[in-house]
Chain A
Amino acid sequence: MEIHRFEKLWLVASLLLIAGFVATIVYGAVGAGVAMVDNSGGQVAASDPTASSDFRDPGVYQTGDGEYDVYVVARQFSFTPGSGTPIRVPEGSEVTFHIASRDVTHGFNVVGTNLNTMVIPGQVAQLTVEFDDARSYHVACNEYCGAAHHDMTGTIEVVPAEDFDESEVAEA
């Protein structure tokens, strides 16, 4: 088979491109630390997550220096905390969200970011994220959950460290 030298050129270029694609995925996982949401969050009672010993009462808990755990209960049609009172964490902290549903499948999507997980009844969606900038984020449910799904929103407020009120942190 005779292959024109121009064709050889762009065949090689295509293979290099594919190698580049694979390399970026590897870089994301190893270099940038991108992780997937997995089943490591554990299981809870489907109708009452807080009854399980693995899931605390909804709120923000400090687990270490600049490390926080946030327990969120999603239900039709609000996040607790999040919808009524915003989730407040200090700037520069590493926050692990534990999100559980007490009725139907919900979504937890921090709008405009890569934070996005499904919240399945009986399972805890667990994800860790670093909040570097003081700003507020919107949270939206992105799994259709009922009549007022469109109103199921919440707020995360990342406040400057000096403004963070330690009394807002729930007792561990």
Chain B
Amino acid sequence: MRDAIADETYSRRGVLRATAGTAAAAALGSAATGSAAGQTDFDGWFTDDAPGGTTDNYDGEVVDRTGEDEVTVTVGADGNGGTFAFEPAAVRISPGTTVTFEWVSDTHNVAVESQPDDAGWEGHDPIENSGFSFSSTFETLGVYKYYCDPHLSVGMKGAIVVAEGGGEQEDAVPAEYGDWFTDDAPGGAVDNYDGETVDRTGEDEVTVTVGADGNGGTFAFDPPALRVSPGTTVTFEWVSDTHNVVVESQPEDAAWEGHEPIENTGFSFSATLDTRGVYKYYCEPHLSVGMKAAIVVGPAPAEDGGGGPAGTTTPFSPLLGTVFAGAVAAAMLLPVLAGYYRRDQPETPEYDDGVEGEPGAGTQEAPVEEPVEELDHDEYDPMGTAALVAVYFLILVAMWVFMYFVEFLGNELTVIG
């Protein structure tokens, strides 16, 4: 039944009705807040029933970005068997939101499949490469379906839902961490943060493990991103050695001090967080491996997408890989090809030692010349060799002086005991 509501909501007519009637608007609202919203299938747009077949990177989840002024969709992100995905595949935004499409790989476009009747979105038909971007502002409520023309056949399809409601909760605190979990912040990326904010709202006591497995050792806070209700007591429990909890930032009127002394396994301390907002903290000894975390105090905005979009990286280009593999194969084939090309060349003739009766006239010896003048052993002065040896000596002495007296002793600070 919930699915039926959702389907209806996102069919074009359903949306039109939703804008007209309050009952349908309520359905839309519930769809936006409930989990049913994530199950919509856009009339099969992401399935085999539509042109291009299944969109692998669409997991049934409509990423909720309502209430935000600007939303970014990555074009050519990893997915669908290559860099053939829109990320996120399906996103829900509020009317008036500006969506920026950013190309992160080559030869993609944004072709519009369908959109609400009175909308005039044109997408971007010309095929563009990495680095290109364009923005569109979506005012008309409804569902916009689009795809990448060159890669439709692998399922590079996307959808944007423009809907009222959701996100506009008054006391909600969005899980916005800025670049805290990325390479741009001190300490670099946090490996054990997968973009998910663990929701523990409504509980009085929540535990964070300090020194859990992660980040290349026992250098993780678990969970790295946590949402609790105001007034929750958060207990930090050490499960490995030499960690502390240093507060990076917190809401303006909060005064959490963390725990700066470095503690070992078995230690724990508690903090009651009353002020709404985002608290960021880290472990000082292990900041450099990304031992960072954050706590959000306050209820989630409706259908919180759980933090920002994950960064897209393309560590290895398939095209370059193919070119490289081809070059290696060609280099290995070269001797074979060369041998084939030279197959008609005559073999090297055998050495003719000039023995009578055998083919060839033999090789002529050069005539032996008599010496003009003979010298005794000590009468000859090998001045050239002497000069060469002298030069070698000079080089040796220069290197010795430089290395020992300049490089070593001249290096100030010398261990004297």
Interface residues of A (CB under 8 A from B): 2, 4-6, 9-10, 13, 17, 20-21, 24, 28, 32-37, 75-78, 84, 96, 102-103, 110, 112-115, 127-133, 137, 146-148, 151-152
The CA of A10 and the CA of B388, in the complex, are separated in Å by: 11
B288 nearest CB neighbor, chain A only:
A151
A35 touches B409 (CB 8 A): no
18 chain-A/chain-B pairs, Cβ below 8 angstroms: A2-B377, A4-B378, A4-B382, A6-B382, A9-B386, A28-B409, A32-B414, A33-B414, A34-B409, A34-B414, A78-B284, A96-B417, A113-B411, A113-B412, A114-B408, A114-B413, A133-B412, A147-B219
Which size bracket describes the interface of B in this complex?
20 to 34
Q: Are B393 and A146 in contact (CB under 8 A)?
A: no
B417 touches A128 (CB 8 A): yes
Alpha-carbon gap, A2 to B416, bound state (A): 50
Q: Is the CB of A33 within 8 A of B378?
A: no
Q: Which A residues are CB-close (under 8 A) to B397?
A: 17
State whether A147 touches B289 (Cβ < 8 A). Answer: yes
16 other A-B residue contacts (CB within 8 Å) besides A75-B285, A130-B416, A148-B286: A4-B382, A6-B381, A6-B385, A9-B386, A17-B396, A20-B400, A32-B409, A76-B217, A77-B285, A77-B289, A114-B415, A129-B415, A130-B413, A132-B412, A148-B289, A152-B288
B411 contacts A112, C-beta separation under 8 Å: yes
A34-B416 contact in complex given A2-B377, A76-B286, C-beta closer than 8 Å: yes
Do A146 and B385 form a contact, CB below 8 Å, given A35-B415, A115-B415? no
Q: Is B216 an interface residue (CB 8 A)?
A: yes
Interface of B: prevailing SS: loop
B332 to chain A, nearest CB (A): 36
Interface residues of B in 362-417 (CB under 8 A from A): 377-378, 381-382, 385-386, 389, 393, 396-397, 400, 404-405, 408-409, 411-417
Asked whether A76 lies within 8 Å of B285 as measured between CB atoms, the reply is yes
